[in-house]
Structure 1
Amino acid sequence: MLDLHKDIFTQRQTMERTDFECYHYLDVVPPEVDFHEHAFYEIFFFLSGEVSYSIEGRTYQLRPGDILLTDNRDIHKPDIRKGRPYERFVIWIHPDFLAQTAGKGADLTACFTDASQKKYKLIRPESNVLSRLKGICEKMLHSRDEEEFGSGTLSAIYLLEFLVYLNRAYFATPDAIRKDVTENEKINEVVAYINDYFSDNLTLDRLADVFFISKSYLAHQFKLYTGLTLYQFIIKKRLTVARNMLCEGVPVMTACMQCGFNDYSNFIKAFKREFGRNPKEFIRKK
């Protein structure tokens, strides 16, 4: 096993590179991480600790070796309990870089695409694949920290290798692990509806009518399973989609209107609160 230093965890949720980043974190004191979303794809490779992870209304009870996939629309948050060191590998991949891998033989985006469609994000690799994935992460980090010729290229090659075995593990993961997921089918339906119709005038009254449930039941159950109020979730979802549109070059006003914000100034204020930056800073330069 390679002798790797551990990275210092920060609350940063933006990439510094334009392709991918890989980190190895170990925290003795659990960090406080709030609900967040980011403009890239994340592979969360859990190594140790006492952690459950909430993603879009589903809560995953993690075991060492579990892997979670999140895309650039998922609202998520770890619940890290005290008592054991919290260790994990984290890989961030820019959507453009991930898309480029799709044309190189096997579609390495397949696990992300399938997980997004099924809204089920957990991978539990078998022991032999788990050891291989850990080893590749270690080599990727070692190459990242080297300054020798071709280290960056070598690190990218290791990432592609990792994605091959990640896809194999994803499609081999048995349905039986769903017992470690806490979810509510009705709330899953509400979350899916919000994802599809986020730009509509979504209110507690309307959603209660659509799903034939009482407003009080919906409000309580939604907060229980997602960790956010209905209003908080809708606003975060609209802002997330707006940010992704900006990253694709869509003008600020267009993103504002198409994501259900009828007041431009309120959109700007909410956007800066959520992401700490002005919307124009996210627009891709053509």
Structure 2
Amino acid sequence: MDKQILQYSSSNFFMSHMVSDPPYDVATHIHDCYELFYFISGDLTYYIEGQAYKLYPNDLIITNSKELHRIVFNSASRYERKYIHFHPEYISSYQTDEYNILSYIEKRKLGYFNRIPAEKVFESGINELWNKIDKASIESSPESPIMLKTFFVQMLIAINKNLSNYNPPLSEGHRYDQKINTILDFINKNLDEKITLDLLEHRFYVSKYYLCHIFKTNTGFTVMEYVTYKRIMRALELLMFGHAALDTAHRVGFRDYSTFYKAFKKITGTSPNQYFRK
């Protein structure tokens, strides 16, 4: 059961504070925006693009608009979190030629350096800035939206400083199979090709049954679930740059349009042509 403690939204910005008791696994998904996820309590593993992050209270997770992620709960402990979704347009007026506020969020290798641990969150004042954002979101004064945005920009700068100076461990407490990293890289570079378990089995000299096991253990995704999501993500980019839906389907490895259409609609909630027109 979910309980909403706080919610605020404005153009290109949304924030929430939620409690769930008991929690349920969060399926593989991706946002069309950036997400800042502030973990308060619970017992979970946060999977992002092949990396597994065991979270502790006051850890911060950062994901950009290209990173697949999911949450798996290790027990039924009470789950509390805050999160912010935002589009780059929200802080565009603060961007300069000399300083890109989103550089570290955008330019990280997918699945790398997503976690800022609690001690760094406190040292850099990210927790205090988030509290100020919360406070500004519930005030009704005319200056509150301006104050909220300035606190948010300060928080992004603090995040940048953390990511530039600190190399956090990728998967504390999680045994990571390095072969998966090679397979993920191969998949991402060959989305236009026919990718099957048999192909991966022969290319990487690993039983497809064992591959399915270690892939799910290390990434939180099944092999084909990952392939499908990444193909749809690539399709979104192609449609955005003006490629027709049918052409896009073939470019991202779908052999027939019907399969592409169903996968696209399931993941994005809209049809390829609707997205193309939008």
TM-score with structure 2 length normalisation?
0.84
Map 1:268-279 onto structure 2 (within 5 A). 268-279=261-272
Q: Which residue of 2 aligns with 1:53?
A: 46
Contact kept in structure 2, 1:52 and 1:80, CA below 8 Å? yes
Q: Which residue of 2 aligns with 1:79?
A: 72
Match of 1:242 among 235, 241, 244: 235
Q: Which residue of 2 aligns with 1:7?
A: 6
Q: Which residue of 2 aligns with 1:229?
A: 222
Q: CA deviation at 1:211?
A: 2.2
Q: Which residue of 1 aligns with 2:100?
A: 107
Number of residues paired by the alignment? 274
Shift of the 29–130 alpha-carbon distance from structure 1 to 2, 3 Å rule, reads farther
Contact kept in structure 1, 2:116 and 2:168, CA below 8 Å? no
Q: Please state whether the residue corresponding to 1:77 is helix, strand or coil.
A: strand
Q: CA deviation at 1:46?
A: 1.0
Shift of the 284–249 alpha-carbon distance from structure 1 to 2, 3 Å rule, reads farther
| Pairing 1:203–2:196 present | yes
Q: CA deviation at 1:271?
A: 1.3
Contact kept in structure 1, 2:91 and 2:153, CA below 8 Å? no
Map 1:1-286 onto structure 2 (within 5 A). 6-7=5-6, 18-97=11-90, 102-103=95-96, 105-116=98-109, 119-126=112-119, 129=122, 132-175=125-168, 178-247=171-240, 250-283=243-276, 285=278
Contact kept in structure 2, 1:71 and 1:116, CA below 8 Å? no
Instruction: Give CA deviations for 1:120-146 in whole Å, capped at 9, x if unaligned.
Output: 422215357357212212222333333
Amino acid paired to 1:112:
I
Give distance in 2, aligned partners of 1:82 and 1:136: 30
Instruction: Give CA deviations for 1:198-221 in whole Å, capped at 9, x if unaligned.
Output: 122112222223323333332332
Q: Please state whether the residue corresponding to 2:6 is helix, strand or coil.
A: coil
Q: CA deviation at 1:86?
A: 1.5
Amino acid paired to 1:162:
M
Q: Please state whether the residue corresponding to 2:109 is helix, strand or coil.
A: helix
Shift of the 97–194 alpha-carbon distance from structure 1 to 2, 3 Å rule, reads farther
Give distance in 2, aligned partners of 1:93 and 1:260: 30
Q: CA deviation at 1:98?
A: 6.3
Shift of the 62–232 alpha-carbon distance from structure 1 to 2, 3 Å rule, reads same
Q: CA deviation at 1:244?
A: 4.0
Q: CA deviation at 1:119?
A: 2.9
Q: CA deviation at 1:263?
A: 1.4
Q: CA deviation at 1:247?
A: 4.6
Q: CA deviation at 1:61?
A: 0.8
Q: CA deviation at 1:115?
A: 2.9
Give distance in 2, aligned partners of 1:101 and 1:202: 43
Instruction: Tell me the percent identity.
Output: 27
Structure 2: runs of 5+ lacking an equivalent: none
Structure 1: runs of 5+ lacking an equivalent: 9-15
Q: Please state whether the residue corresponding to 2:234 is helix, strand or coil.
A: helix
Q: CA deviation at 1:176?
A: 5.0
TM-score with structure 1 length normalisation?
0.82
Give distance in 2, aligned partners of 1:17 and 1:284: 25
Q: CA deviation at 1:97?
A: 4.3
Q: CA deviation at 1:28?
A: 3.0
Contact kept in structure 1, 2:34 and 2:87, CA below 8 Å? yes
Q: Which residue of 2 aligns with 1:13?
A: none
